[in-house]
Amino acid sequence: MEVERGESSSGKRKWERPPAAATTHEQQAKEKSPLTLATLKAVKEQVEKRGSRISHGVIVKYFDNSDAPYDWLLPGWVAEERYVPSGRKGLGRIYKYYCGPTGHMYYSKRVVLFAWKKMNIICFDA
């Protein structure tokens, strides 16, 4: 943990910039299952339909249920992380989106779980 001058060790942790050589969509797709590849294809088609609106410097990465933080996803579902840098000291923000097999985008885990429950795919007892 890095601490700026004048801060105590209990200060907030500084964001670390992701590696400059981020993997591309095709490089990540090589290690994925066929269901994940089909979803990534649908996501790519949706992006082309909407037009590219991603700003310069934004890094996009895709994950599926084989990746540790997203092991709760069903097969064929993909999590998208966008790292958006800001102008201050290399700080930035990570936005997370979830995509279903049809390419539809959901904006939170809660919405995904609600959609699964609505589709009678999965139901959690509280």
Query: Three-state SS for 15?
Result: coil
**CB of 65 closer than 8 Å to CB of 77:** yes
pLDDT in tens, 17-42: 444 444 455 445 456 788 899 999 99
Domain borders along the chain are 34-119
Taking the whole predicted model, whether its pTM rises above 0.75 is answered as no
HSE (side-chain half, CA atoms, 13 Å) at 96 = 12
What phi and psi, each to the nearest 5 degrees, are found at residue 6?
Answer: 90, -5
How far apart are alpha carbons 64 and 22 in whole angstroms?
17
**CB of 81 closer than 8 Å to CB of 93:** no
Given this structure, which CATH class describes domain 34-119? alpha beta
pLDDT in tens, 60-82: 999 999 998 999 999 999 999 99
